[in-house]
Amino acid sequence: MSDFELNSQTPKGSLENRWTQHKFNLNIVNPANRKKYNVIVVGTGLAGAAAAASMGEMGYNVKTFCFQDSPRRAHSIAAQGGINAAKNYQNDGDSVWRLFYDTIKGGDYRARESNVFRLAELSTSIIDQAVAQGVPFAREYSGYLANRSFGGAQVSRTFYARGQTGQQLLLGAYQAMSKQIDAGTVVHKSRCEMQDVIMIDGQAKGIVSRDLVTGELETHIADCVVLCTGGYGNVFYLSTNAKGCNASAAWRAHKRGALFANPCFTQIHPTCIPQQGELQSKLTLMSESLRNDGRIWAPKHQQDCEKRPEDIPEHDRDYFLERMYPAFGNLVPRDIASRAVKLICDEGRGVGHAIDGKKLGVYLDFAKAIEKFGLDGVEEKYGNLFDMYQHITAENPYETPMRIYPAVHYTMGGLWVDYNLMTSINGLFAGGEANFSDHGANRLGASALMQGLADGYFILPTTVSNYLAQQTPIDITKSYPEAQQTLQACQAQLDRLLNAPDPQKTPDEFHRKLGQILWNACGMAREKAILEAAISDIQALRKQFWQQVKVTGSDKTLNQTLERAGRIADFFELAELMCIDALTREESCGCHARVEHIADDGEAQRHDDDYAFVSAWQYSGNVSIPVLYKEELHFEFVRPTTRNYK
């Protein structure tokens, strides 16, 4: 453990010129010298593929890794609704400054102004890049790119490709990376999982990986490492994330010295298909874009909750978002909508299946939209989403309103990074959802794709070059004792997982119990006594895990149970840090409602005087006693106020 002061490297000067001036001040590498440097990129979703493609095209030697069978399987494909950009094609008053303001406000004033303005500024270039790659965005009859509205904004700035926006953008980045693979500047390895970061002289100089088919552990040396490995929503067990999504790469970097920032800030998405049973292992997201035309309601009276929605007359329906937030209506930000839906269900006015004796669901109704635009018009905009809902629930959403309930989706916490996206470890960068930097306590819809591509295409190629310009290229043919020591430690961890003293239960059994503890204590509602009890419960369950986890088979072949066990071991440690972080934050912020800090009208109570900071946690050698560093947030251009969407 080292003692140091956080330095965000945030540039000074006028906000709109900071990134431009900062780029000019950074060092660059001569094109002829770039082939001397080696860069490792872990994770090849939007941020990773975009970064690898860009740096490969610049002339660096790039080596990429993903645990899927193809980069096309990255979870970035699951982003359905769209990507924000301040193009103002609708001439409705949008601008870079308005996108900046909406993002700062939507994040409940817990993000850096400089990072968020840069994101808004780059948004217009991202769309141009994607169009040039052939991404099939929806278009108006005139040929102009179409836009729709998303939560937290009163303008139309979200570009989309039906309900497949993430998939189409990922294919664009994947094709750009494939071009560089063919050119020889990028070497890619699929079905390969990072086990740890190799540290040489206090700098990140490589990784240990495990081939998930052969089980072979390998060391890879490079001049720097870039982690673009996504978020950690699956720590809750039930989430909208693909089952393979995990926190292991980021967490193992954290245990090597990278600070972990705002771990308790997780996004709850209001528009998910409700849980159907207690043994369910995955939740499905319905795009936020559905809230453009769908109206959310619940029965006014508890006795109507058992009725079919078609049998509940209009005067007995409570369109509660329109009632509570008339200015934004159904397009309030995700955290606001999620807390409102939970409030309705807590009152006993939920519908659908009961979980633990409580009906968890409200209706998302398209009857008015079908009446206005016609069946064909609604199908053109949302058809694949409606098909997905019908396939999962066996209900026709064109005839019967969808049922939705909030669920864990995105994570705003992640590895702490400075303005250059470098972690507190020299030479270790983090991009996309793996870092904490741009969203504060709540991410606005259609901003995840924006951040991933901004980091990958525009920021990392510039800031990584600045770092490499100050480094002497490492000899990757040399044998380093630090690399072998790290490999041996990884092997010891695998051996420990395979040889529990009293193997009885599968990793998933432990994960399900952990998820229940975490959701109840550190989900949408949080309370001091419950958080303290949860920390003790997590510690006890983690101890039991290491005694009783049952992992059959060998580490020398394909073994998905072993993969999951390693990831769940990391989830146990991360979950405890999340509860510790939530316990220290004595305020309600974003979707994180501390019951001790709720206003009389049910709205969240922030405490800006005491908590306008980034919580950056350092691993001390004991996961139960982390060290807290605070990065104070300074607001020069947007004054923190009570968020009002009414």
Q: Where are the domains of the chain?
A: 270-408, 481-632
- Count of CB atoms within 10 A of residue 543's CB? 11
Cα radius of gyration rounded to whole Å, the chain? 24
In the chain, the percentage of residues whose pLDDT exceeds 70 is 99
Average pLDDT over residues 181-188: 98
CATH number of 270-408: 3.90.700.10
Residue 200 sits at φ, ψ, to 5 deg, of -130, 120
Asked whether the predicted pLDDT for residue 83 surpasses 80, the reply is yes
Q: If pLDDT is split at 50, 70 and 90, which confidence band does 339 have?
A: very high
Q: Are 133 and 47 in contact (CB under 8 A)?
A: no
On the CB side of 547, CA atoms within 13 Å amount to 6
Structure tokens of 512? Answer: 């399900």
**In what helix (H) or strand (E) does residue 141 lie, and over which residues does it extend?**
none
- Report the distance separating Cα 31 and Cα 29, nearest Å: 6
Pairing mode, strands 354-355 and 358-359: antiparallel
Proportion of the chain above pLDDT 90, given as a percent: 92
Between CA 339 and CA 523 the distance in angstroms is 11
Would you state the pLDDT for residue 378? 94
**Residue 486 Cα distances to 197, 218, 222, 493, 516, angstroms:** 8, 10, 15, 11, 34
Average pLDDT over residues 12-22: 96
Residue 564: its H or E element: helix 560-584
Residue 583's pLDDT is 98
Provide the sign of the torsion angle of the four alpha carbons 92, 97, 101, 107, taken in this order. positive
* Mean pLDDT confidence for 24-39: 97
What is the 8-class DSSP label of residue 16?
G
Residue at token pair 């044998």: 479
Q: Which amino acid is at 287?
A: S
**What's the pTM?**
0.96
Nearest CA-CA partner of 574 in 248, 268, 230? 248
* Residue at token pair 């945030």: 10
| Residue range 481-632, CATH number | 1.20.58.100
In this predicted structure, what is the pLDDT of residue 377? 93
**How much is the pLDDT for 238?**
95
pLDDT at 277: 80
pLDDT of res. 2: 55
Burial class (CB in 10 A: 0-12, 13-18, 19+), 561: middle
Query: Bigger pLDDT: 356 or 170?
Result: 170
Model confidence at 645, pLDDT cuts 50, 70, 90, reads confident
Query: pLDDT tens for residues 590-608?
Result: 999 999 999 887 788 999 9
Question: What is residue 555's three-state secondary structure?
Answer: coil
pLDDT at 62 over 60: yes
d(CA 236, CA 413): 14
Mean pLDDT of the chain, nearest integer: 95
